[in-house]
Structure 1
Amino acid sequence: MLLCFVDESDQGDFHGFAGLMADEHATKAITDSLNRTMRQVAVDWGIPATTELHGHPIFHNKEDWKHVPTRVRVGVFHKVFEAIVAEDVVILLRWVHVTRLAERQARNFYPVNFPPEQVCFQHILQRAQQVSATRDTYTLIIADDRHDRDRHRERFATYQTEGTPGVYMQTNLDRLLDTVHFAPSHMSRMLQAADMLAFIYRRVHTVTESDPRASREMAKLWNTLVDSGRVHNEGNWP
């Protein structure tokens, strides 16, 4: 059985999700590695070892990370990504272009105009189903807690009874177990890993770095993921 940890990142027309699929062994290994990283940061810079690995404040030098030097914060990103790709995981990355989605739905007279977060999350679920079927196993979805969690659970139940809407990768998600489980990211290193993936995924696609050093580091982080061969069917819609 696999676990799929999911988080999102959005800005402007970009609405994206990252999913990190791992079995119990990879989940344990990545969690241990991230805990070791934070224990070292705690010793060196005096922040709690339980501090959340959260992409936005780490990158922007905020919250608990405001007194941690840039080189250390960049190093944390690299250590997180290296810990992820060192294990037998599957990385799901998908984003929806908000304006193009609305234009497509209007142009084709969609009977229901689905919001971008629903479309993108559905695409993540379809890819988790695809990976599960290929590996002849089942997957439990664990997502970062959110205010509209009940609506996502309802949609998930509908997908399993009526199938996902449209003909694109149409499926009843029979390889995904139970319901979507939501958990607070500050209590889960794996959700934090998904957050870090989502943050870099969004930034690579939405920001042209003005500092050449930042541009180089972003390229290195992105290449760590791509070159690992662990990214499955990445892309955007429409």
Structure 2
Amino acid sequence: MAHLVYIDETGSVGKGANKQKLLTLAAVLVHENNVQLLADKFRQIARTHLGQVPADFELHGYEIWNGNGHWSSLPPAGLIAVYEDAISVINDLDIGVSHASIHKERLRTRYGGDMNGNAYLLALQFLLEKIDSGYVGNKILIADEQKEHQLRAVKMVAELQDWGWGEVPGAKLKTVIDSMHFVSSHTSPGVQLADLVAYALQRQRNQWDSHPAARAAIGRVTDVVSQHTRTWREPWPA
């Protein structure tokens, strides 16, 4: 039996990226028997909170938390309910979680800016090494599309499988099988769940919420994540 490892990142590109000190990759490990159940549960969340499953439906952490897109008509309490319902599938399906972060300013200082473009690959290497050693059984990697890094990521994963050599000297991957696969998050509930995890972790670390209800909600969400996080990598460089 294998686990499908869905991976997404936050903190590297897009609006407000320069205000986020960490680039974080989060992974959720879904047992192969639960992949379809995860999709079913996400469709049910749409029916519960939207009354239907829109053709372009996708659970995206930033959009839910900020009430954008399909969620624009919901009040703050409703948005929190959507997020908590989505994260609750981690409990329902006993989904494992792992994450690794790169401290972008410390990386720039340590290497004089020469490694700035490698932050995603460094986080990916550390994440995969943790997952490989921390979870039993074979793993298949599925990540959100990364046009800038896809070819290099596939090459790095192959080298880690063959020799244990990544962006920095590392450990040989023994349970990661096949290549690394990239998909559109729109088509992958697993990648969407990884996005929800990454966004919640980043939001808590940056202390973006000032309203007591929002702080309490993000605390509940990250508590669920923490309970299912067997292995992680502290932000690097230290």
- Pick one of 81, 90, 103 that aligns with 1:84: 90
CA pair 97-213 structure 1, distance change in 2 beyond 3 A: same
- Structure 2 vs 1, CA of residues 152 and 59 (structure 1 numbering), >3 Å: closer, same or farther? same
Contact 1:26/1:88 (CA < 8 Å) preserved in 2? no
Deviation at 1:50, TM superposition (A): 5.1
Measured against aligned partners, the alpha-carbon deviations of 1:132-190 in whole angstroms (never above 9, x if no partner) come to 4xx2x2110000112121121122222223313445xx322131111110011011111
Aligned residues: 227
**3-state SS of 1:115 partner:** helix
Tell me whether 1:102 sits opposite 2:104 in the alignment.
no
Matched, 1:118 2:121: yes
Mapped to 1, the partners of 2:188 and 2:232 lie a distance apart of: 25
- Tell me the alpha carbon deviations over residues 10-42 of structure 1, each in whole angstroms, 9 at most, x when there is no partner: 033210011001211232332222121112223
Q: Could you tell which deviates more after superposition, 113-122 or 66-75?
A: 113-122
Aligned to 2:143: 143
Change (3 A) 1:185 1:114: closer
CA contact (8 A) 2:96 2:230 kept: yes
Asked whether the 8 Å contact 1:7–1:144 carries over to 2, the reply is yes
The answer to whether structure 1 residue 220 and structure 2 residue 220 are counterparts is: yes
C-alpha deviation, 1:208, in angstroms = 3.8
- Counterpart of 1:163 in 2: which secondary structure? coil
Q: Name the CA shift for 1:40/1:61 in 2 (closer, same or farther; >3 Å).
A: same
Unaligned ranges ≥5, structure 2:
12-16
Write the distance in 1 (CA, Å) between the matches of 2:217 and 2:39: 24
When residues 49 and 85 of structure 1 are mapped into structure 2, their CA distance, relative to the original with a 3 A threshold, is farther
| TM-score after normalising by structure 1 | 0.86
Percent identity for Structure 1 against Structure 2 = 22
Contact kept in structure 2, 1:96 and 1:237, CA below 8 Å: yes
Q: Work out whether residues 93 and 201 of structure 1, in 8 Å CA contact, stay in contact via their aligned partners in 2.
A: no
CA 1:118–1:24 in 2, change beyond 3 Å: closer, same or farther? Answer: same
Query: Which aligned pairs between 1:8-47 and structure 2 lie closer than 5 A?
Result: 8-10=9-11, 11=17, 12-43=20-51
Deviation, structure 1 residue 221: 1.2
What displacement does 1:124 show?
1.2
8 Å contact from structure 2 (residues 127, 233) kept in 1: no
Q: Is the 8 A contact 1:33 1:83 kept in 2?
A: yes
Q: Note if contact 2:127-2:232 (Cα within 8 Å) is conserved in structure 1.
A: no
C-alpha distance after superposition, 1:43-69 (max 9, x if no partner): 1xx672751000111111112222222
- TM-score normalised over the length of structure 2: 0.86
Separation of aligned partners in 2, 1:105 and 1:87? 41
Distance in 2 between residues matched to 1:51 and 1:145, nearest whole Å: 17
Q: Distance in 1 between matches of 2:94 and 2:57?
A: 26
**Aligned equivalents of 1:51, 1:229: Cα separation in 2:** 26
* Mapping of residues 121-200 of structure 1, within 5 Å: 121-132=124-135, 135=136, 137-148=137-148, 149-165=150-166, 166-167=168-169, 170-200=170-200
Q: Distance in 2 between matches of 1:113 and 1:61?
A: 32
1:126–1:173 Cα contact (<8 Å) kept = yes
Confirm or deny that 1:74 pairs with 2:80. Answer: yes
Answer yes or no: is the 8 Å Cα contact 1:93–1:234 preserved in 2.
yes
